[in-house]
Structure 1
Amino acid sequence: MNQTTQKLSVVEKVGYSLGDLAANLIFQTLVTFLAFFYTDVFGIPATTASFIMLTAGMIGAFVFTPVMGFIADRTKTRWGKFRPWILWTAIPFGVIALLAFSTPALDQNQKIIYAWVTYLLLLGVYAANNLPYSALSGVLTGNMAERNSLSAYRFVAVMLAQFVIQVLLLPIVLMLGNGDKAQGFHNAMILFASVGIVFFLITFLTTKERILPIVEEKTTVSQDIHDLLKNLPWLIMLIVTVLVFINLSLKGGAYIYYFENYLDQNALAAFLDGIGFNSFIHGLNATLQSMGVAQFKWPDDAATSAFGLFNGGGIIMQIIGICFSKQIADRFGKRNTFGAALFVSTLFLLAFNWFPKDAIGLCFVSQILHGFFYGLTVPLLWAMIADVADYSEWKNNRRATAIIFSAMLVGLKAGLSIGGSLLAGILGYYHYDAALQVQSPETIEGIKASISIYASIPFFIAVACLFLYSINKQTENQIEAELNERRKAAGK
């Protein structure tokens, strides 16, 4: 039977997507709250936090990830190359995530060492888990339309995790910690780690590797690197991946500072009253208390509530965008859809620099529109990377899925580390002080620029890079057809 075009069942798509939901409960916490956790919860200065995130992040990106790529491509078990890594790393991932967001009683130097070591360990186990997980999408099916569908399922799960973290994490932290953010983060990580372990096991049990190399031959590291260097679409996607995750880490981490330090708190409270949010929350609190769970009372401060609602609106619109992504990409091609949607989404992000501090409605509208157009791009990034793996096989007659994905995860981790470090560095440059109730005007300008001007630059450069990406709709169809013929001829 020709398995290269086999359709995936809904069970397999959902099972696969739960792996990304599990990983993103931790990953989205890193993107959105790591700088805030270090500066405002663990008490590490912003410039030191920048150093921790950059140095550990670069080791994770340029050491752990490529090494894991070479190992994964050479893994041989009865379960396949990539699935077993999801099983083997499930429990370590949860344990190390809990340690990374714990706040033991240490002096300042010990805190810095503890933060650096636990962040480095978390990046290491993330590489061992997420690189094989990402590469798995390239070997579940050879059908590019099915791959688009799989990516859509996967990134709906990502958006659900993002919703939990960006909308609910701060309230959960305050609830579970009874107002103590340090204890709240610790308890929240226990919950997320437990759920994540179960979801990783479901991913392992419900998926199957189908795409095998046409010729079972041993390849050397030098051959893999040589193939990569000849692969221009890979190089373009590597650069794009770095730029995308610089943006996500920078803007994602800066939003909380924007809400707590720039937007007018009275205007936020009035906005929440005006749309009925506060009435809803009061009713929810009353219901919970009547059920005997008074410890889960929703926080009262306007910044926390508005921040969650703001992120929630953007995430819902991203999910809607994801739902339209496959249809548009099937018609116009992944490259064209990705570039156009990314450009438009960036315009709405850039606008945040000029919103007055009491223009809460404008902020929410811009976030919603940004979320929708960015959502169109979300499933396409990894689907395009899977296409790059096919392109490499098409050109070189050798398949090296994990090394392709490991190179992209190098970009992801480099972007994440650079973006997070940039945010902490920008805060330090503009003299952010977590101990101050009111930041200086200079600091406020730096916070505004972080989520708008600075965050927009990587997206605009990524759009420009896509003009050099040669895998358009016509090339996608040609690659798929010719590889299918080769696999039929080889009996795969």
Structure 2
Amino acid sequence: MISVKEKVAYGLGDTASNFVFQTVMLFLTFYYTDVVGLNPATVGSLFLLVRLIDAVTDPLMGALADKTRTRWGAYRPYLLWMAIPFAVISVLAFTTPDTSYNGKLAYAIGSYVLLMLMYTAINIPYSALGGVITANPLERVSVQSYRFVFAMLGGLLVSVCTLPMVSWFGDGNDAKGYQHTMMLMGFLGMILFLICFAGTKERVTPSPDSPWPVREQLNAVWQNDQCRILCLISVILLTGIVLRHALAIYYVKYVMQRPDDVTLFVSLAMVGGILGSALAYPLARRTDKVTLYKVLQLGCAGVCVINFLLPAGQWYAALCLHFVWGFLLQMTSPLLWAKMGDVADYGEVKTGKRLTAITFSTIVFFIKLGIALGSAMAGWLLAFYGYQANVMDERVSNGITLSFCLLPAAMSLLVVLVMRWYKLDNQKVNEAHQALNQNRQQLNGTV
């Protein structure tokens, strides 16, 4: 059994990650369009462009982490090495140069590329760490539940504090406000990554022989049919999630016409997410993880459809529905990340090689592709509807409502459809776990 103290330490690493991840999901589109002044369609294309770079860097980072051998382990050292650079780049990404439109665009591209590279360098090893803290499938759900409780606490801090801090630090200058806000968040994130490094331990050791070349590792991962399905699920799911998150601020400001209540709206979803993450483990102990995941995704879709059907001006009903959506959605997150460890086990049974980081990095790439598609779609759709900052327009308002509600619902339903081909239910996972235990005991000469 993993101690609560270690689970908390691991979870604090995702609190640190979410200081950037949630800020990007909730505010970066708005920051680029309404603070920097970039065209929404250009912003959408920017988000997608960077994912092409991730297609190369994510698996390379995973392969590098799998090859790393230090006295601290394979994955933990990156939390130590990358904590300070991660904090610095986070600030640079939310710094607005006083230059021409093209200069601002070039700076946005360069700084966002650096931010995502740094996110890859620290988050791929951090994610893989969750697969080697314990080999117990149920304990992995517990570890991931702690992770996402603390991830959502980080998201809650971002949603509650960002706009007030921007206002306070900026004193009328939002560009300065965002920069100083990220200075504080970056510093806190650095401290939390160091706590995560100090408070965790790697228990599932890599294969004792030399790792395969990167091409062979990628081929082995891609031959893992369950990994491919999880990749597809990840890109679909995150596209819908990020689209809704990115449009939330526009939905409140332009559809509900309550610009002063943006913080309340996004924060309630985070509170729901914390509660949902905490309940994932006890529910997973009582039912099959795959079945539970499908039911929760159907619930998310239903909430979004009801949100779309709300009569105009039903503010409190919209608040409640966004809370419930966050609750159901984040209950699925620990289950998804626990599945990554299960998929790595399944791959080890098939190949005899433990490829934790490159398995996680492959799936994380598709998660980030979904983030990019969701963010890009938000920008493209705003441009399609004719969005202009601070201009109220019925066509724009209707378009935002449709995109905020129905498209995420469609993505959740598509996830449920794809889950038909995912076969690692509780029984199959336990069988794989038993086979691995037997193989390891034989290698150690205990059988």
Report the TM-score when normalising by structure 2: 0.96
Choose the corresponding residue for 2:149, options 156, 159, 184.
Answer: 156
Choose the corresponding residue for 2:66, options 60, 65, 73.
Answer: 73
Distance 1:63 1:222, change over 3 A: closer
Determine the structure 2 residue equivalent to 1:486. Answer: 439
1:331 is the counterpart of 2:286: yes
Choose the corresponding residue for 2:99, options 106, 117, 120.
Answer: 106
Determine the structure 2 residue equivalent to 1:283. Answer: none
User: Structure 1 CA distance, aligned partners of 2:132 and 2:217?
Assistant: 18
Determine the structure 1 residue equivalent to 2:420. Answer: 467
User: Structure 2 CA distance, aligned partners of 1:214 and 1:104?
Assistant: 48
Deviation at 1:215, TM superposition (A): 4.5
Determine the structure 1 residue equivalent to 2:3. Answer: 9
Contact persistence 1:227–1:396 (CA under 8 A) = yes
Choose 1 or 2 for highest CA Rg: 1
* 1:89-238 map, 5 Å: 89-238=82-231
Contact persistence 1:256–1:307 (CA under 8 A) = yes
Determine the structure 1 residue equivalent to 2:399. Answer: 446
Deviation at 1:58, TM superposition (A): 2.5
Deviation at 1:241, TM superposition (A): 0.9
Q: Higher mean Cα deviation, 219-228 or 118-127?
A: 219-228
RMSD: 1.5
Deviation at 1:371, TM superposition (A): 2.1
* 1:29-428 map, 5 Å: 29-59=23-53, 61-265=54-258, 303-304=259-260, 306-428=261-383
User: Structure 2 CA distance, aligned partners of 1:372 and 1:120?
Assistant: 32
Deviation at 1:372, TM superposition (A): 2.2
Determine the structure 2 residue equivalent to 1:277. Answer: none
User: Structure 2 CA distance, aligned partners of 1:124 and 1:412?
Assistant: 15
Contact persistence 1:31–1:248 (CA under 8 A) = no
Contact persistence 1:262–1:444 (CA under 8 A) = yes
User: Structure 1 CA distance, aligned partners of 2:311 and 2:380?
Assistant: 25
Deviation at 1:189, TM superposition (A): 0.2
Q: Which amino acid aligns with 1:418?
A: L
Q: Which amino acid aligns with 1:422?
A: M
Q: Which amino acid aligns with 2:396?
A: T
Determine the structure 2 residue equivalent to 1:268. Answer: none
**3-state SS in 2 of match to 1:452:** helix
In structure 1, stretches of 5+ residues that fail to align are 1-6, 266-302
**3-state SS in 2 of match to 1:44:** coil
Q: Higher mean Cα deviation, 247-256 or 216-225?
A: 216-225
**3-state SS in 2 of match to 1:82:** coil
Distance 1:217 1:237, change over 3 A: same
User: Structure 1 CA distance, aligned partners of 2:435 and 2:311?
Assistant: 55
Contact persistence 1:46–1:424 (CA under 8 A) = yes
User: Structure 2 CA distance, aligned partners of 1:364 and 1:212?
Assistant: 46
User: Structure 2 CA distance, aligned partners of 1:257 and 1:226?
Assistant: 42
**3-state SS in 2 of match to 1:138:** helix
Deviation at 1:311, TM superposition (A): 2.3
Q: Higher mean Cα deviation, 69-78 or 346-355?
A: 346-355
Contact persistence 2:60–2:214 (CA under 8 A) = no
Contact persistence 2:165–2:181 (CA under 8 A) = yes
Q: Which amino acid aligns with 2:227?
A: W
Determine the structure 2 residue equivalent to 1:4. Answer: none
User: Structure 1 CA distance, aligned partners of 2:252 and 2:265?
Assistant: 10
Contact persistence 2:133–2:203 (CA under 8 A) = yes
Contact persistence 2:79–2:197 (CA under 8 A) = yes
Deviation at 1:225, TM superposition (A): 2.5
Q: Which amino acid aligns with 1:400?
A: L
User: Structure 1 CA distance, aligned partners of 2:152 and 2:77?
Assistant: 25
Contact persistence 1:58–1:413 (CA under 8 A) = no
Q: Which amino acid aligns with 1:417?
A: A
Q: Which amino acid aligns with 1:328?
A: L
Contact persistence 2:252–2:265 (CA under 8 A) = no
Deviation track 1:1-30 (CA, whole Å, cap 9, x = no partner) reads xxxxxx212221111111110011011000
Deviation track 1:93-130 (CA, whole Å, cap 9, x = no partner) reads 11111000011101000000000000000010110100
**3-state SS in 1 of match to 2:132:** coil
Deviation at 1:67, TM superposition (A): 1.4
Determine the structure 2 residue equivalent to 1:437. Answer: 391
Q: Higher mean Cα deviation, 145-154 or 331-340?
A: 331-340
Deviation track 1:407-454 (CA, whole Å, cap 9, x = no partner) reads 0111111111111011001001111011x432x221112211221112
Deviation at 1:53, TM superposition (A): 1.4
User: Structure 1 CA distance, aligned partners of 2:379 and 2:340?
Assistant: 30
Deviation at 1:214, TM superposition (A): 4.8
User: Structure 1 CA distance, aligned partners of 2:123 and 2:195?
Assistant: 15
Deviation track 1:191-235 (CA, whole Å, cap 9, x = no partner) reads 001101111111111111111135424322333223222211101
Size of the aligned set, in residue pairs, is: 445
Q: Which amino acid aligns with 1:426?
A: L
User: Structure 2 CA distance, aligned partners of 1:372 and 1:110?
Assistant: 41
